[in-house]
Amino acid sequence: MLAKKTALITGITGQDGSYLAELLLDEGYRVVGMTRRTSTEVHERIEHLVDRIEIVSGDLLDQSSMTKLIDDVRPSEVYNLAAQSFVPTSWSQPVLTGEFTALGVTRVLDAIRQVDTNIKFYQASSSEMFGKVQETPQREETPFYPRSPYGVAKVYGHWITVNYRESYDMFAVSGILFNHESERRGKEFVTRKITDGVARIALGLQKQLALGNLDAKRDWGFAGDYVRAMWLMLQQAGPEDYVIATGRTHTVREFCRLAFAAADLDYERYVVEDARFMRPAEVDLLIGDPSKAARVLKWVPETTFEQLIDRMVRADIARLRPLASV
């Protein structure tokens, strides 16, 4: 019998970490998740997996904890999903964002270099690197022009991954993922903020929904589809970078219209624009070209924009319904 492969996931408590852990367990992996120490343990997204995964302690800010952890766990694959991932926070905490989201990548890569350069590495790169887009649709070769400290930090993470691949002959890949969402998305991100707001308004728990720029366009997919692309990238013969996207774009306004309509509501009656949610520099338009992923990885997104909205609205209504009846 073949020995089980071991995967180490940083950021396992996040949206993507939870879906990736499910996928890797289904694929027969031993799954080890790294979490940082906190005084209250909030592992909501992985509660249903705790009996099947191992949790180890480590922090992207601490080199020695990363090196010791990789040495102890001896994974065959490392998925580096941990980051300060909320774009507005990157303006209020730019240095911390750089420490986690940029230098954190070097710490993981260097830990691997010190322990065993045969360990495969996945870096969670982002369409935010394209920022003020230099080409449409955006593909692997499109030049980067980040528009936030988060985007700048991700560009660093991308290039240090390429550099370790070229310097040390490591199997290190960067997945340039466009926005992907789900009912497990943090409530500060626009899609979940909208579906949570729709549910509260439909159940009489809230009267209005305050949002920022309704004209921004994003290429939104379903997180459950996107984690499969991460795994596929590490199963290839050689390390390469890939754009993962749906190839379609929609405005925040369209997302609102469909999400409110899913609860038989008209968004124009409830959504108000609020300057507090505007950004100092906006990314106006993102649309990815996933043709390389389709050709090489045989990856195509399975969930449509409409299906994504529908499942998110339904999940939020089901979650909040008990509050409406008290």
The answer to the question of residue 241 lying near ligand NAP (CB under 6 A) is no
Does residue 277 interact with ligand F7E by CB under 6 A? yes
Per CB under 6 A, contacts with ligand F7E among 216-275 are: 216, 218, 252
Per-residue x/- mask for ligand NAP, residues 26 to 45, rule CB under 6 A?
----------x---------
Nearer to ligand F7E, 63 or 213 (CB): 213
SS (H, E, C) 157-181: HHHHHHHHHHHHCCCEEEEEECCEE
- Rounded Cα gap, residues 19 and 232, in angstroms: 14
| Sheet strand arrangement including 172-177 | 54-57, 30-35, 6-10, 77-80, 120-126, 172-177, 242-244
Of 247, 249, 316, the closest CA to residue 288 belongs to 247
Stretch 59-98: interaction string toward ligand NAP, x if CB under 6 A: xxx-------------------xxxxx-------------
The verdict on 179 binding ligand NAP (CB under 6 A) reads yes
Contacts of 143 (CB under 8 A, 6+ apart): 134, 135
Interaction pattern, residues 188-227, with ligand NAP; x per rule: CB under 6 A: ----------------------------------------
The residue nearest ligand NAP at its CB is 14
Nearer to ligand NAP, 11 or 137 (CB): 11
Min dist. Cβ of residue 232 to ligand NAP (A): 16
Instruction: State which residue, 49 or 211, has the beta carbon closest to ligand F7E.
Output: 211
What minimum distance in Å lies between the beta carbon of 136 and ligand F7E?
16
d(CA 62, CA 83): 14
Token pair in block for residue 58: 């480590």
Q: Which of 86, 271, 79, 108 is nearest to 189 (CA)?
A: 86
Facing residues of 35 across strands?
57
The footprint of ligand F7E (CB under 6 A) covers 85, 87, 126-128, 178-179, 188-191, 193, 211-213, 216, 218, 252, 277, 279, 282-283
